[in-house]
Amino acid sequence: MPSVTVENYLKHLLLLAEETDGLVPMGALSAALAVVPGTVTTMVKSLAADGLVVHRPRQGVKLTAAGRRLALGVLRKHRLVETFLVQVLKMHWSAVNAEAEQLEHAISDTVLDRLDALLGHPSTDPHGDPIPSRLGKLHSQVYATLATCPLARPVRLVRITEQSAEFLQFAEQHGLLPGASARVTDRNLAAGLVTVQRPRGRPLALSLAAAGRILVEPAR
Amino acid sequence: MPSVTVENYLKHLLLLAEETDGLVPMGALSAALAVVPGTVTTMVKSLAADGLVVHRPRQGVKLTAAGRRLALGVLRKHRLVETFLVQVLKMHWSAVNAEAEQLEHAISDTVLDRLDALLGHPSTDPHGDPIPSRLGKLHSQVYATLATCPLARPVRLVRITEQSAEFLQFAEQHGLLPGASARVTDRNLAAGLVTVQRPRGRPLALSLAAAGRILVEPAR
DNA sequence: CCCGCCATTTTGAGTAGTCAAAATAATTTC
DNA sequence: GAAATTATTTTGACTACTCAAAATGGCGGG
């Protein structure tokens, strides 16, 4: 049975792999886990010895098939627990990430399956992030973001890829929830500013970085 | 924040204190936690240094007020989680102890309060064990058991103080659930045997030890 | 009163995970 | 192409928890 620590290394590796697409640099992992780089090196070598990752020294790490399978299991627990906390316990979506961080390591597969059924086998969590299936399929679609979508066209928000409670509260405050409609009216690369327009709302300015965390699809 | 290990030491100490009423011998704790006695000695000394227990060398341990408060918190989580697993997720009561053993260390007070409200603030868990209140009150009543109650009088089962899945399945098989009615028709101390009669059932023989784990109150 | 038994404590050692800081590579800069 | 910067790895040390096995203390039986 993998330890809590191992599960966290694998989970973050999976999350970082989505972005960096290939080898994850040690520094990125170190930052994500909030441990010093030396610790990551040590730990990654032991994960490699267990066949969960491959380590290219001085270059980075990536998951093996076995490591990915484990990581998907943890991610599934995390996102199903989040969904439960919001839908059944009526918690605020900005608070559930921290809670799920703990519970994902304590919940058994048996309990998870019951939870899944209770929730009606949801395919995304409250942030719009896809929930891996029991078999470890992750229907990860490539979406545009508010930083990259066409100007002036109506879009629907599908996913907020940022977990910090502050950001999520800010997003909600301005109606930027999964499912909402909007339109990017202006994008100023030089200033790093994006202006979005919500139906019946005033224009809202976002940093390019923030806009890049909000995934959208064409409306209608 | 106390570690999982510390929480387990304190919880088992609380449970054992109910039985031994006073100082818990090191050996009992060692057996309950499934670690060698030397480990318990070391650990208890460090708990004592933190003011969570008092250690009388060569005699035993007991909780301080601070230790008891923490232990009651853990027990509350354990029993509320068990109740949730049975009532909401419809799990079998013989399986939930093992699950709760894990979850009790991962669930926050916030989530716990919501769970408590969702369940309607129950006062006992599915085994009939009392759930400590949020303030740490444990309405522990003194009950008779099938090994000590008057002969021939109708009684109602209120609580099964044994968590092993095998025992619980056996109990259920014969209708020995909290809430059920029964009558002790015979008690043979020499043979260590108790005979109980359920309404519309055949007489059932139990060991004295098993009978002592089933708490009852006078029916009606 | 001493012997032996049992529970407990001590001692020495191991595992998992972590940090601080020095050593080493790789990459960029000039 | 040497020097400087930055990422990574090594080394040595620490914490929390555990076990095995030897030492100790208390107690009942003779």
Nearest to A107 by CA among A82, A127, A126: A82
What's the confidence (pLDDT) of residue B220? 67
**Residues A177, A157 contacting (CB under 8 angstroms):** yes
Task: Return the pLDDT at B9.
Answer: 98
Is the CB of residue B53 less than 8 Å from the CB of residue B61? yes
B68 in any annotated domain: no
Q: Tell me the range of A61-70, A138-147, A185-194, B140-149 where mean pLDDT is highest.
A: A61-70
pLDDT computed for residue A29 by the predictor: 98
Pairing of strands A60-63, A193-197: unpaired
Which tokens is A116 given? 């899944």
Could you give the CA distance from residue B183 to residue A98 in angstroms, rounded to a whole number?
A: 51
What are residue B219's phi and psi, to 5 degrees? -75, 145
A159-164: average pLDDT: 83
Residue recorded with tokens 């659930």: B177
Give the pLDDT of residue A190: 66
Residue B70: pLDDT band with limits 50, 70, 90: very high
Same domain, B22 and B58: yes
Confidence of residue A212 (pLDDT cuts 50, 70, 90): confident
What's the Cα-to-Cα distance from B64 to each of B13, B17, B30, B31, B92, rounded to whole Å?
11, 12, 19, 21, 35
Percent share of chain B, pLDDT over 70: 98
Residue A147 reports pLDDT greater than 80:
no
Q: Which has the minimum average pLDDT: A127-131, B6-10, B69-73, B79-83?
A: A127-131
A94 falls within a domain? no
> Within an 8 Å CB–CB cutoff, is residue B1 touching chain A?
no
Above 90 in pLDDT, residue B158? no
| Residue B39 in this model has a pLDDT that exceeds 90 | yes
The answer as to whether A171 is a domain residue is yes
pLDDT attached to residue B42:
98
Range of the domain at A203: 144-218
- Chain A, nearest residue to B89 by Cα: A114
CATH of the domain at A52: 1.10.10.10
Given a cut of 80, whether residue B94 has pLDDT beyond it is yes
What is residue B133's DSSP assignment? P
Which residues, in sequence order, are bridge partners of residue B154? B183
Express each pLDDT in B104-121 by its tens digit: 999 999 999 999 999 889
Last residue of a domain, one of A44, A63, A82: A63
A81 belongs to a structural domain? no
Q: Is A95 near chain B, with CB under 8 Å?
A: yes
Which helix (H) or strand (E) covers residue A155, if one does? strand A154-160
Q: What is the side-by-side strand order in the sheet with B193-197? A: B144-145, B214-218, B154-160, B181-188, B193-197, B204-207
Contact by Cβ (8 Å): A8, A67: no
End-of-domain residue from the set A41, A63, A85: A63
The pairing of beta strand A53-56 with beta strand A60-63: antiparallel
Q: Which residues pair with A206 in a beta bridge?
A: A194
pLDDT at A54: 98
Provide residues 2-41 of B with CB closer than 7 Å to any strand D atom.
Answer: 3, 5-6, 33-39
Q: What is the mean pLDDT of chain A?
A: 90
Residue among B127, B16, B143 at smallest CA distance from B68: B16
- Mean pLDDT (chain B, rounded): 90
Reported confidence tier of residue A220, pLDDT bands at 50, 70, 90? low
Task: Decide which of B82, B115, B140 is a domain's last residue.
Answer: B140
CATH of residue A159's domain is 2.30.30.90
**Radius of gyration (C-alpha) of chain A in whole angstroms:** 19
Q: Is residue A119 less than 8 Å (CB to CB) from chain B?
A: no
Which bases along strand D come within 7 Å of a protein CB atom? 7-12, 16-22, 25-26
Distance in Å, residue A38 CA to nucleotide D13 C1': 14
Based on the structure, what is the number of domains in chain B? 3
Same domain, B14 and B56: yes
